[in-house]
Amino acid sequence: LGVEALKRKGGTIVVQGEMKEFPNFPLERVTVKFITIKSARGHSYKACELALAQLASKRFALEKVTTHRFGLKDVDLAIKSVGGQGVPDVIHASLLPWK
């Protein structure tokens, strides 16, 4: 999904995880699009501070990132939907405890 979401050639994708293998990884697409892959493991306090500053700046329309909102009673449906087995077309789901 990340490889297809990257629109321009020569972009960078940052991945995080500890899987030994990733079956069906689109290596050819990575090569054709000149994509750089970087690995991330954890984050620093400074990185959190910078992220919070970006969020507080309102520079980015982050409300557009969430495609679906679920209440706590629908956590199972939210997880299934993000995994492609629940509500269709979910890109990012937010859990709203008060909903």
Residues 3-39: pLDDT tens digits? 777 777 888 888 877 777 878 888 888 888 898 988 8
What is the structure's pLDDT at 1?
59
For the chain, the farthest-separated pair of C-alpha atoms sits apart, in whole angstroms, at 46
Question: What is each CA distance from 25 to 2, 54, 71, in whole angstroms?
Answer: 11, 32, 33
Closest CA to 75 of 63, 93, 59: 93
What is the structure's pLDDT at 78?
93
Residues 36-94: pLDDT tens digits? 988 887 778 898 899 899 889 988 887 777 899 999 999 999 999 998 899 999 988 99
Runs of H (alpha helix) within the chain: 2-5, 27-32, 45-57, 75-82
